[in-house]
Structure 1
Amino acid sequence: MKIYTRTGDGGETGLFGGERVAKDSVRIEAVGAVDEANSQIGFALSLLPGGVKGLAADLERVQNDLFDLGADLATPHGSSVEDKLRRINAADVIFLEERTDFYTDDGPPFTGFVLPGGHPAAAALQVARAVVRRAERRVVSLARKEKLNPEVQHYLNRLSDLLFVMARWLNHARGVQEPLWQKR
Protein backbone atom coordinates (compact mmCIF):
# COMPACT_ATOMS: atom_id res chain seq x y z
CA MET A 1 0.00 0.00 0.00
CA LYS A 2 1.37 3.41 -0.92
CA ILE A 3 1.09 6.29 1.54
CA TYR A 4 0.32 8.82 -1.18
CA THR A 5 -2.95 8.78 -3.10
CA ARG A 6 -2.69 11.92 -5.25
CA THR A 7 -6.36 12.59 -4.48
CA GLY A 8 -5.45 15.76 -2.59
CA ASP A 9 -3.26 17.29 -5.27
CA GLY A 10 -6.06 19.65 -6.30
CA GLY A 11 -6.43 21.16 -2.83
CA GLU A 12 -9.26 18.97 -1.55
CA THR A 13 -9.41 16.20 1.02
CA GLY A 14 -11.97 13.61 1.96
CA LEU A 15 -14.08 13.52 5.07
CA PHE A 16 -15.23 10.26 6.60
CA GLY A 17 -18.23 9.28 4.55
CA GLY A 18 -16.63 10.37 1.27
CA GLU A 19 -17.52 14.07 1.02
CA ARG A 20 -14.70 16.17 -0.48
CA VAL A 21 -13.86 19.58 1.01
CA ALA A 22 -11.18 22.21 0.48
CA LYS A 23 -8.04 21.65 2.52
CA ASP A 24 -8.38 25.18 3.91
CA SER A 25 -12.01 24.74 4.98
CA VAL A 26 -12.90 25.63 8.55
CA ARG A 27 -13.50 21.93 9.30
CA ILE A 28 -10.09 20.85 8.02
CA GLU A 29 -8.43 23.75 9.88
CA ALA A 30 -10.01 22.40 13.07
CA VAL A 31 -8.96 18.82 12.33
CA GLY A 32 -5.43 19.99 11.52
CA ALA A 33 -5.11 21.99 14.72
CA VAL A 34 -6.17 18.93 16.73
CA ASP A 35 -3.54 16.90 14.86
CA GLU A 36 -0.92 19.53 15.74
CA ALA A 37 -1.93 19.36 19.39
CA ASN A 38 -1.67 15.58 19.36
CA SER A 39 1.78 15.78 17.77
CA GLN A 40 2.95 18.30 20.35
CA ILE A 41 1.74 16.04 23.16
CA GLY A 42 3.73 13.22 21.56
CA PHE A 43 6.79 15.45 21.58
CA ALA A 44 6.24 16.27 25.26
CA LEU A 45 5.91 12.54 25.97
CA SER A 46 9.27 11.92 24.29
CA LEU A 47 10.88 14.38 26.71
CA LEU A 48 9.39 12.96 29.90
CA PRO A 49 11.93 11.88 32.49
CA GLY A 50 11.71 8.49 34.17
CA GLY A 51 9.52 8.02 37.18
CA VAL A 52 6.40 9.74 35.85
CA LYS A 53 4.55 6.71 34.46
CA GLY A 54 1.16 8.02 35.58
CA LEU A 55 1.71 11.25 33.69
CA ALA A 56 2.82 9.32 30.61
CA ALA A 57 -0.26 7.07 30.80
CA ASP A 58 -2.56 10.09 31.10
CA LEU A 59 -0.94 11.75 28.08
CA GLU A 60 -1.19 8.54 26.06
CA ARG A 61 -4.91 8.35 26.88
CA VAL A 62 -5.29 11.97 25.76
CA GLN A 63 -3.48 11.23 22.50
CA ASN A 64 -5.89 8.39 21.76
CA ASP A 65 -8.85 10.61 22.66
CA LEU A 66 -7.55 13.34 20.35
CA PHE A 67 -7.37 10.83 17.52
CA ASP A 68 -11.06 10.05 18.14
CA LEU A 69 -11.81 13.76 18.45
CA GLY A 70 -10.21 14.43 15.06
CA ALA A 71 -12.34 11.68 13.53
CA ASP A 72 -15.36 13.21 15.27
CA LEU A 73 -14.61 16.55 13.60
CA ALA A 74 -13.99 14.88 10.22
CA THR A 75 -17.39 13.19 10.29
CA PRO A 76 -20.28 15.62 9.78
CA HIS A 77 -23.50 14.84 11.63
CA GLY A 78 -25.77 12.73 9.49
CA SER A 79 -22.86 11.10 7.65
CA SER A 80 -23.39 7.55 6.40
CA VAL A 81 -20.46 6.35 8.54
CA GLU A 82 -21.48 8.13 11.74
CA ASP A 83 -22.53 4.88 13.43
CA LYS A 84 -18.97 3.49 13.02
CA LEU A 85 -17.46 6.39 14.93
CA ARG A 86 -16.66 6.90 18.60
CA ARG A 87 -17.67 10.46 19.36
CA ILE A 88 -16.09 12.30 22.28
CA ASN A 89 -18.50 12.20 25.20
CA ALA A 90 -19.12 13.61 28.68
CA ALA A 91 -17.15 10.76 30.30
CA ASP A 92 -14.06 11.84 28.35
CA VAL A 93 -14.48 15.39 29.67
CA ILE A 94 -14.96 14.12 33.22
CA PHE A 95 -11.72 12.14 32.91
CA LEU A 96 -9.90 15.40 32.08
CA GLU A 97 -11.52 17.18 35.03
CA GLU A 98 -10.55 14.39 37.42
CA ARG A 99 -6.95 14.35 36.20
CA THR A 100 -6.81 18.17 36.37
CA ASP A 101 -7.95 17.99 39.99
CA PHE A 102 -5.29 15.38 40.75
CA TYR A 103 -2.39 17.36 39.23
CA THR A 104 -3.62 20.57 40.85
CA ASP A 105 -3.94 18.98 44.30
CA ASP A 106 -0.63 17.12 44.02
CA GLY A 107 1.25 20.06 42.50
CA PRO A 108 2.58 23.34 43.82
CA PRO A 109 0.31 26.12 45.08
CA PHE A 110 -0.32 29.02 42.74
CA THR A 111 1.90 31.95 43.65
CA GLY A 112 1.63 34.05 40.49
CA PHE A 113 1.31 33.95 36.74
CA VAL A 114 3.38 31.11 35.31
CA LEU A 115 5.61 31.51 32.27
CA PRO A 116 6.12 28.49 30.01
CA GLY A 117 9.44 26.84 30.76
CA GLY A 118 11.31 24.86 33.34
CA HIS A 119 11.90 21.19 32.56
CA PRO A 120 11.96 20.59 28.77
CA ALA A 121 8.92 18.28 28.98
CA ALA A 122 7.03 20.87 31.03
CA ALA A 123 7.86 23.53 28.46
CA ALA A 124 6.64 21.17 25.71
CA LEU A 125 3.40 20.63 27.64
CA GLN A 126 2.92 24.40 27.75
CA VAL A 127 3.40 24.55 23.96
CA ALA A 128 0.84 21.74 23.64
CA ARG A 129 -1.53 23.80 25.82
CA ALA A 130 -1.21 26.76 23.47
CA VAL A 131 -1.78 24.55 20.42
CA VAL A 132 -4.88 23.05 22.06
CA ARG A 133 -6.18 26.59 22.61
CA ARG A 134 -5.72 27.24 18.89
CA ALA A 135 -7.58 24.01 18.10
CA GLU A 136 -10.37 25.15 20.39
CA ARG A 137 -10.61 28.47 18.53
CA ARG A 138 -10.83 26.62 15.20
CA VAL A 139 -13.59 24.39 16.59
CA VAL A 140 -15.50 27.45 17.82
CA SER A 141 -15.31 28.88 14.29
CA LEU A 142 -16.58 25.61 12.84
CA ALA A 143 -19.39 25.37 15.41
CA ARG A 144 -20.68 28.75 14.24
CA LYS A 145 -21.16 27.30 10.75
CA GLU A 146 -22.07 23.66 11.28
CA LYS A 147 -23.61 21.38 13.87
CA LEU A 148 -20.92 19.77 16.02
CA ASN A 149 -20.75 17.44 18.95
CA PRO A 150 -20.66 19.96 21.85
CA GLU A 151 -18.40 17.66 23.87
CA VAL A 152 -15.57 18.39 21.42
CA GLN A 153 -15.44 22.00 22.56
CA HIS A 154 -15.75 21.00 26.21
CA TYR A 155 -12.95 18.45 25.82
CA LEU A 156 -10.51 20.92 24.26
CA ASN A 157 -11.31 23.56 26.87
CA ARG A 158 -10.59 21.12 29.72
CA LEU A 159 -7.53 19.69 27.97
CA SER A 160 -5.74 23.04 27.91
CA ASP A 161 -6.32 23.31 31.67
CA LEU A 162 -5.00 19.80 32.21
CA LEU A 163 -1.84 20.43 30.19
CA PHE A 164 -1.20 23.60 32.18
CA VAL A 165 -1.39 21.82 35.55
CA MET A 166 0.57 18.84 34.23
CA ALA A 167 3.43 21.16 33.27
CA ARG A 168 3.36 22.77 36.72
CA TRP A 169 3.19 19.36 38.40
CA LEU A 170 6.14 18.07 36.38
CA ASN A 171 8.34 21.05 37.23
CA HIS A 172 7.44 20.58 40.89
CA ALA A 173 8.01 16.80 40.81
CA ARG A 174 11.44 17.25 39.21
CA GLY A 175 12.46 20.08 41.55
CA VAL A 176 12.69 22.56 38.71
CA GLN A 177 11.99 26.20 39.52
CA GLU A 178 8.81 27.32 37.82
CA PRO A 179 9.33 30.56 35.87
CA LEU A 180 6.95 33.26 37.06
CA TRP A 181 5.89 36.46 35.35
CA GLN A 182 7.60 39.50 36.84
CA LYS A 183 5.68 42.76 36.66
CA ARG A 184 7.84 45.54 35.25
Structure 2
Amino acid sequence: MPIYTKGGDKGSTSLYDGTRVRKDSLRVDTYGTFDELNANVSLADKFCVKAENKAILQKIEYKMFFLQGEIATQTAGKFNANSRVITDDDVTMLEQVIDRYTAELPKVTSFILPGASLAGAQLHICRTVCRRAERMFVRFSTDVEVRPVLERYVNRLSDFFYIMARSEDYEYQVNELTDQVMKRYAQAVGR
Protein backbone atom coordinates (compact mmCIF):
# COMPACT_ATOMS: atom_id res chain seq x y z
CA MET A 1 0.00 0.00 0.00
CA PRO A 2 1.57 3.35 -0.99
CA ILE A 3 2.08 6.09 1.60
CA TYR A 4 0.72 8.72 -0.77
CA THR A 5 -3.03 9.34 -0.97
CA LYS A 6 -3.11 12.01 -3.69
CA GLY A 7 -5.58 13.85 -1.45
CA GLY A 8 -3.24 16.82 -1.17
CA ASP A 9 -2.47 17.17 -4.85
CA LYS A 10 -4.56 20.34 -5.02
CA GLY A 11 -3.06 22.03 -1.95
CA SER A 12 -5.24 20.73 0.87
CA THR A 13 -4.68 18.28 3.69
CA SER A 14 -6.77 16.46 6.27
CA LEU A 15 -6.66 17.38 9.92
CA TYR A 16 -6.86 14.79 12.71
CA ASP A 17 -10.67 15.09 12.78
CA GLY A 18 -10.95 14.67 8.98
CA THR A 19 -11.56 18.35 8.20
CA ARG A 20 -9.86 19.42 4.96
CA VAL A 21 -7.84 22.66 5.07
CA ARG A 22 -5.32 24.40 2.83
CA LYS A 23 -1.73 23.27 3.39
CA ASP A 24 -0.64 26.89 3.84
CA SER A 25 -3.12 27.58 6.64
CA LEU A 26 -1.76 28.95 9.91
CA ARG A 27 -2.97 25.80 11.69
CA VAL A 28 -0.94 23.53 9.40
CA ASP A 29 2.06 25.85 9.53
CA THR A 30 1.90 25.87 13.35
CA TYR A 31 1.70 22.13 13.91
CA GLY A 32 4.20 21.63 11.07
CA THR A 33 6.70 23.87 12.84
CA PHE A 34 6.24 21.89 16.05
CA ASP A 35 6.83 18.77 13.95
CA GLU A 36 10.08 20.34 12.70
CA LEU A 37 10.98 21.05 16.33
CA ASN A 38 10.26 17.46 17.31
CA ALA A 39 12.57 16.13 14.58
CA ASN A 40 15.29 18.41 15.94
CA VAL A 41 14.63 17.20 19.49
CA SER A 42 15.07 13.63 18.27
CA LEU A 43 18.45 14.57 16.80
CA ALA A 44 19.44 16.39 19.99
CA ASP A 45 18.73 13.35 22.14
CA LYS A 46 21.10 11.29 19.95
CA PHE A 47 23.92 13.78 20.65
CA CYS A 48 23.35 14.00 24.41
CA VAL A 49 26.04 12.52 26.65
CA LYS A 50 24.04 12.81 29.86
CA ALA A 51 21.66 9.82 30.13
CA GLU A 52 19.11 11.79 32.16
CA ASN A 53 18.90 14.43 29.42
CA LYS A 54 18.31 11.76 26.77
CA ALA A 55 15.45 10.30 28.83
CA ILE A 56 13.86 13.71 29.44
CA LEU A 57 14.08 14.65 25.77
CA GLN A 58 12.47 11.37 24.72
CA LYS A 59 9.53 12.17 27.02
CA ILE A 60 9.26 15.60 25.40
CA GLU A 61 9.19 13.98 21.95
CA TYR A 62 6.03 12.07 22.93
CA LYS A 63 4.45 15.16 24.48
CA MET A 64 5.07 17.00 21.21
CA PHE A 65 2.84 14.49 19.41
CA PHE A 66 0.00 15.37 21.79
CA LEU A 67 0.59 19.09 21.28
CA GLN A 68 0.69 18.75 17.49
CA GLY A 69 -2.37 16.52 17.49
CA GLU A 70 -4.43 19.02 19.43
CA ILE A 71 -3.37 21.87 17.14
CA ALA A 72 -4.13 19.65 14.12
CA THR A 73 -7.74 19.14 15.20
CA GLN A 74 -10.38 21.71 14.35
CA THR A 75 -12.93 20.07 16.65
CA ALA A 76 -10.95 19.92 19.90
CA GLY A 77 -13.31 17.50 21.59
CA LYS A 78 -12.61 14.84 18.95
CA PHE A 79 -8.89 14.86 19.75
CA ASN A 80 -9.30 15.15 23.51
CA ALA A 81 -11.69 12.21 23.59
CA ASN A 82 -9.33 9.92 21.63
CA SER A 83 -5.85 10.88 22.77
CA ARG A 84 -3.73 11.99 25.67
CA VAL A 85 -3.33 15.73 26.03
CA ILE A 86 -0.87 18.19 27.55
CA THR A 87 -1.73 18.82 31.21
CA ASP A 88 -0.60 21.09 34.04
CA ASP A 89 1.62 18.20 35.19
CA ASP A 90 3.54 18.50 31.92
CA VAL A 91 4.09 22.23 32.54
CA THR A 92 5.20 21.46 36.09
CA MET A 93 7.67 18.87 34.84
CA LEU A 94 9.29 21.44 32.53
CA GLU A 95 9.45 23.97 35.36
CA GLN A 96 11.01 21.42 37.72
CA VAL A 97 13.75 20.55 35.22
CA ILE A 98 14.41 24.24 34.51
CA ASP A 99 14.57 25.11 38.23
CA ARG A 100 16.76 22.13 39.20
CA TYR A 101 19.23 22.58 36.35
CA THR A 102 19.40 26.35 36.93
CA ALA A 103 20.33 25.69 40.57
CA GLU A 104 22.92 23.03 39.65
CA LEU A 105 24.68 24.83 36.79
CA PRO A 106 27.15 27.70 37.16
CA LYS A 107 25.53 31.13 37.13
CA VAL A 108 25.48 32.86 33.73
CA THR A 109 26.75 36.45 33.86
CA SER A 110 26.89 37.24 30.13
CA PHE A 111 25.57 36.08 26.79
CA ILE A 112 26.73 32.61 25.82
CA LEU A 113 27.58 31.25 22.40
CA PRO A 114 24.97 28.73 21.25
CA GLY A 115 26.58 25.40 21.91
CA ALA A 116 30.04 24.30 23.06
CA SER A 117 29.08 20.71 22.25
CA LEU A 118 27.15 19.00 19.47
CA ALA A 119 24.26 18.33 21.84
CA GLY A 120 24.32 21.90 23.14
CA ALA A 121 24.37 23.35 19.62
CA GLN A 122 21.49 21.10 18.54
CA LEU A 123 19.49 22.01 21.65
CA HIS A 124 19.97 25.70 20.82
CA ILE A 125 18.55 24.92 17.37
CA CYS A 126 15.60 23.35 19.21
CA ARG A 127 15.30 26.54 21.28
CA THR A 128 15.20 28.80 18.20
CA VAL A 129 12.77 26.60 16.27
CA CYS A 130 10.65 26.48 19.41
CA ARG A 131 10.58 30.28 19.57
CA ARG A 132 9.39 30.40 15.95
CA ALA A 133 6.74 27.76 16.68
CA GLU A 134 5.65 29.75 19.73
CA ARG A 135 5.23 32.92 17.65
CA MET A 136 3.08 30.98 15.18
CA PHE A 137 1.12 29.44 18.04
CA VAL A 138 0.40 32.88 19.51
CA ARG A 139 -0.89 34.10 16.11
CA PHE A 140 -2.93 30.90 15.78
CA SER A 141 -4.43 31.30 19.26
CA THR A 142 -5.71 34.81 18.45
CA ASP A 143 -8.12 33.27 15.92
CA VAL A 144 -8.73 29.85 17.49
CA GLU A 145 -9.55 29.11 21.09
CA VAL A 146 -6.85 26.94 22.66
CA ARG A 147 -6.63 25.44 26.11
CA PRO A 148 -4.63 27.80 28.39
CA VAL A 149 -2.39 24.91 29.47
CA LEU A 150 -1.10 24.68 25.89
CA GLU A 151 -0.06 28.33 26.02
CA ARG A 152 1.83 27.73 29.28
CA TYR A 153 3.48 24.57 27.95
CA VAL A 154 4.61 26.20 24.71
CA ASN A 155 5.91 29.22 26.64
CA ARG A 156 8.06 27.01 28.92
CA LEU A 157 9.52 24.88 26.11
CA SER A 158 12.14 27.33 24.82
CA ASP A 159 13.43 27.95 28.36
CA PHE A 160 13.58 24.20 28.80
CA PHE A 161 15.69 23.77 25.64
CA TYR A 162 17.98 26.59 26.75
CA ILE A 163 18.70 24.97 30.12
CA MET A 164 19.13 21.55 28.51
CA ALA A 165 21.70 23.06 26.13
CA ARG A 166 23.55 24.56 29.07
CA SER A 167 23.48 21.19 30.86
CA GLU A 168 24.95 19.37 27.88
CA ASP A 169 27.60 22.05 27.31
CA TYR A 170 28.59 21.91 30.97
CA GLU A 171 28.84 18.10 30.85
CA TYR A 172 30.96 18.37 27.71
CA GLN A 173 33.29 20.95 29.27
CA VAL A 174 33.73 18.85 32.43
CA ASN A 175 34.53 15.78 30.31
CA GLU A 176 37.01 17.76 28.17
CA LEU A 177 38.75 19.14 31.25
CA THR A 178 38.89 15.68 32.84
CA ASP A 179 40.39 14.23 29.65
CA GLN A 180 43.05 16.96 29.57
CA VAL A 181 43.96 16.39 33.22
CA MET A 182 44.21 12.63 32.68
CA LYS A 183 46.45 13.10 29.60
CA ARG A 184 48.76 15.42 31.51
CA TYR A 185 48.84 13.02 34.43
CA ALA A 186 49.68 10.11 32.11
CA GLN A 187 52.48 12.16 30.53
CA ALA A 188 53.81 13.17 33.95
CA VAL A 189 54.03 9.58 35.21
CA GLY A 190 55.43 8.34 31.91
CA ARG A 191 52.54 6.26 30.63
Flag whether TM exceeds 0.5 (same fold).
Answer: yes
1:180 corresponding residue in structure 2: none
2:130 is equivalent to residue 132 of structure 1: yes
The whole-number CA distance in structure 1 between the counterparts of 2:10 and 2:69 is 22
Unmatched 5+ residue regions in structure 2? 177-191
2:51 corresponding residue in structure 1: 53
Q: Give the aligned length.
A: 175
Q: Partner of 2:70: helix, strand, or coil?
A: helix
Q: 1:28 deviation in Å? A: 0.5
Q: 1:170 to 1:76 in 2, by over 3 A?
A: same
2:149 corresponding residue in structure 1: 151
Equivalence map 1:61-72=2 (5 Å) = 61-72=59-70
The whole-number CA distance in structure 2 between the counterparts of 1:9 and 1:150 is 35
Q: 1:57 deviation in Å? A: 0.4
The whole-number CA distance in structure 2 between the counterparts of 1:36 and 1:112 is 30
Larger helix proportion, structure 1 or 2? 2
Larger radius of gyration: 2
The whole-number CA distance in structure 1 between the counterparts of 2:37 and 2:155 is 13
1:123 corresponding residue in structure 2: 121
Q: 1:78 deviation in Å? A: 4.7
The whole-number CA distance in structure 1 between the counterparts of 2:79 and 2:149 is 19
Identity of aligned residues (%): 37
After the TM superposition, list the runs of 4 or more consecutive aligned residues in structure 1 that deviate by more than 6 angstroms.
none
Query: 2:116, 2:172 within 8 Å by CA — same for their partners in 1?
Result: no
CA-atom RMSD, angstroms? Answer: 1.6
Query: 1:77, 1:148 within 8 Å by CA — same for their partners in 2?
Result: no
Query: 1:31, 1:74 within 8 Å by CA — same for their partners in 2?
Result: yes
The whole-number CA distance in structure 2 between the counterparts of 1:141 and 1:112 is 31
Report the TM-score when normalising by structure 1: 0.89
